[in-house]
Amino acid sequence: MPKKSLPLISTTLFYALYYLISTLEFDVQILPQSVPYDYLLQLGIAYLVFALSKKPSVFLIIHGLMMGVLYIGNAVKISFFGGPIMPDDVYALRSLLLILEGWRFFAVAIPLAAIASLLLFNFRIRHWSGYLASMILMLLGITMLYKPAAFVVPLDNYFGNSVWDQRSNYVWRGATLYSLLETGRYFAAADVPPDADSVQEATESLLATVPPLEKVGTSKEFTPRNVHIVLLESFWDPNELKKAKFNQNPLSPEFRQLWKTAGNSHALTPVFGGFTANSEFEVLCGFPVSKDNVKFERQLLNDVPCLPHLLADKGYRTLVSHPNVPVFWNRVNSYKRIGFQTYWSIQDFELDDMNEEFLADSSLYRQVTAKISGSLEAKQPVLDYIVTYFGHWTYPLNESRPNQISTRSEVEEVKAYANTVYYKSRELMDFINDMRKRDPDGIIVVFGDHLPFLGENFGGYVDSNVLTTNKTDFTPAMFKFYVSTPMIIIDGKRGPLKIGSLPLYQVPKLVLDLLNYDEPSIMDYTAAIPGLQVRPLPGLHFNVSTNGSVDTCKEPPYSDGCQLSARWLENVNIISNDLFIGRQFARPKHPMDPVSPAITAQLAPTIN
């Protein structure tokens, strides 16, 4: 067999094998009409790699691993999260490897390490074909970096592009072209710090058209009260799955009663099934996340007056507790930049009640309460922010937490998740009851960070007809369902607030209002449009009106409501980029902020 035919043979065999696995195992099928050019493009890449390889046998291994990551990796991510691998997932890779345990860690790490090491080991340039291959790859890289629109625009014009439906983009184009196009788009559409004029226009538009939210506190002066915010990992109401036929309601009856008192309020989160840090960003900083990336990883470069910073300026002790490795999602740097004074991570807790690698919520609550009890007794106001870890997929339980819930659902995760929520909701209520006794005037905010993963291609949800397999077929109500989690906000002795469906980025402003905080803050920029709540998602947004109707805004031409919210979102994104990655022209002045006099002078007439 001639060596030159090896890339042709390997591409054909691997393409057929991985196509079958993707289709049969994960129900992700590249459209038949897209296969020819996807195959030919992959064949071209195979010849480039082959031209730079010393040994044909090693080339075969490299090629098989590369195509496996490209075709099977995308199929896995689509089946889990509804969308394929994006360039920003490279930045999330470290966090993924940190969270994986056992065989899952090695299943991800070994192929990546093998590809990198084998490429280095097998690299050579001894023939004109090697020089040509290296020149083509370098030209492609330079074009990606400096002129990505040169190939993104014409290919989009030919193939089309759905900003909000990446799964469809993937199956329309094939894995190879899709990956190249999205890499080019990543560089073409990278966020850049806005200039002062753009920021000025955006601030004037946002502050002029949106009236301030009505204060909900009773005192006219700032009233320091403790604030307890609990982010509940994957916390949701499994009883929404009507066809699962649970033997009993998984949620604690006490929680359900408290939630009913709060009007069964919901948080509208920015994510589904993962990327917890984006929910954190919104609930702490008051700005929406609208892209498919982790805000903490690359787009929080500045010290910003988020909720922890503002309360620290008012004499609060600002604390965050999360029993995970501290560097996960770049939390060490991010928490510091938004104003937390103390970060308790896994090494700061006694791991005395573990569900595999996840510390039980009951233990976490008990230990955090002990840590802050001195401040509570001394009447020093605290911002006590807790990120739970128990409840993470794969929903393991230890021997002290036997299964209590059975179900007719054939999706394995449904039963495991329902039993996890059984314990998670009860441990939460123990914490809430204890904290309301210890701190009756405190503000307590609890919410789920995202819906749980319940099987490939939304399997557990599809069984009960609350979602469809493909987001392309989601109704407006489904998009709202897709990001709605239970939320309870307790205003001290006044009890739970009925807040309806509230985007997470609206929570910091509400907390400040409950404290009668009346100074300018960055949350003023994202005050709700009268009569509408806007929930951005990657590539689209939807509006929830006061009567509960949902209007999904995907692509122009927009409805009148979508035109209004799209302009609002454009201005909000300008301010967000300015504050978090830019020069902070829009940053309000606060007594302890390290803001230059020049910026302060520019801001004063804008904010006041």
Contact 446, 232 (CB under 8 A): yes
Q: Does the pLDDT at position 423 exceed 70?
A: yes
Find residue 267's DSSP bridge partners: 485, 502
Q: Does the pLDDT at position 554 exceed 80?
A: yes
Q: Please report, in angstroms and rounded to a whole number, the separation of the first and last CA atoms in the chain.
A: 78
Clarify whether residues 182 and 242 are in a common domain.
Answer: no
Clarify whether residues 342 and 259 are in a common domain.
Answer: yes
**From CA 42, how far away is CA 160, in angstroms rounded?**
21
CA atoms within 13 A of residue 462's CA, in its CB half-sphere? 16
Clarify whether residues 171 and 54 are in a common domain.
Answer: yes
What number is the average pLDDT over the span 197-218? Answer: 72
CATH number for the domain spanning 360: value is: 3.40.720.10
476 part of a folded domain: yes
In this prediction, residue 197 carries a pLDDT of 96
Q: Which one is predicted more confidently, 22 or 96? A: 22
DSSP track, 158-206: HH---SS-HHHHHHHH-HHHHHHHHHHHHHHT---PPPHHHHHHHHHHH
**From CA 191, how far away is CA 208, in angstroms rounded?**
25
Which domain, by its residues, includes 108? 3-188
Contact 554, 562 (CB under 8 A): no
- Give the chain's radius of gyration (CA, Å): 25
- The mean of the pLDDT values for the chain is 89
Q: Does the pLDDT at position 605 exceed 70?
A: no
In this prediction, residue 161 carries a pLDDT of 83
Clarify whether residues 174 and 250 are in a common domain.
Answer: no
Clarify whether residues 410 and 494 are in a common domain.
Answer: yes
What distances in angstroms separate CA 334 from CA 15, 103, 298, 302, 330, one per listed residue?
A: 42, 30, 10, 9, 6
The letter for the amino acid at 165 is D
What number is the average pLDDT over the span 46-72? Answer: 90
Q: Does the pLDDT at position 445 exceed 60?
A: yes
Residue recorded with tokens 């929830």: 544
**From CA 145, how far away is CA 183, in angstroms rounded?**
9
What distances in angstroms separate CA 221 from CA 407, 440, 442, 521, one per listed residue?
A: 52, 20, 17, 16
209 part of a folded domain: no
355 part of a folded domain: yes
Clarify whether residues 180 and 228 are in a common domain.
Answer: no
Structural domain ending residue among the three candidates 493, 516, 548: 548
**pLDDT 10s digits, 224-249:** 999 999 999 999 999 999 999 999 99
554 part of a folded domain: no
389 part of a folded domain: yes
Clarify whether residues 370 and 427 are in a common domain.
Answer: yes
Instruction: Report DSSP state, residue 69.
Output: I
Residue recorded with tokens 């043979």: 9
180 part of a folded domain: yes
In this prediction, residue 79 carries a pLDDT of 84
**Closest by CA position to 586, among listed 573, 599, 597, 571:** 599
Q: Which 3 state secondary structure label does DSSP give 53?
A: strand
Contact 255, 444 (CB under 8 A): no
Structural domain ending residue among the three candidates 528, 548, 568: 548
**pLDDT 10s digits, 328-356:** 888 999 999 999 999 999 999 999 999 99
Clarify whether residues 347 and 470 are in a common domain.
Answer: yes
Q: Which one is predicted more confidently, 5 or 509? A: 509
Clarify whether residues 228 and 170 are in a common domain.
Answer: no
46-55, 443-452, 495-504: the lowest-pLDDT one:
46-55
* DSSP-derived pairing of the beta strands 550-553 and 540-545: antiparallel
Q: Using 50, 70 and 90 to split pLDDT, how confident is the model at 100?
A: low
In this prediction, residue 87 carries a pLDDT of 82
Strand ranges in 311-451 using DSSP code E only, listed in sequence order: 317-321, 342-344, 354-355, 358-359, 382-387, 443-448
29-33, 165-169, 539-543: the lowest-pLDDT one:
165-169
598 part of a folded domain: no
Q: Map 113-143 to HEC letters.
A: HHHHHHHHHHECCCCHHHHHHHHHHHHHHHH
Tell whether pTM > 0.85.
Answer: no
Q: Does the pLDDT at position 607 exceed 80?
A: no
Clarify whether residues 292 and 411 are in a common domain.
Answer: yes
**pLDDT 10s digits, 169-204:** 898 899 999 999 888 888 887 788 999 999 999 999
**From CA 281, how far away is CA 504, in angstroms rounded?**
9
Clarify whether residues 241 and 179 are in a common domain.
Answer: no
In this prediction, residue 81 carries a pLDDT of 75
Structure tokens at 228: 């307890």
Structural domain ending residue among the three candidates 548, 566, 594: 548
Q: Which one is predicted more confidently, 498 or 91? A: 498
Q: Using 50, 70 and 90 to split pLDDT, how confident is the model at 549?
A: very high
Clarify whether residues 336 and 398 are in a common domain.
Answer: yes
Q: Using 50, 70 and 90 to split pLDDT, how confident is the model at 274?
A: confident
198 part of a folded domain: no
What number is the average pLDDT over the span 24-43? Answer: 91
In this prediction, residue 280 carries a pLDDT of 98
Total domain count, the chain: 2
Contact 178, 169 (CB under 8 A): yes
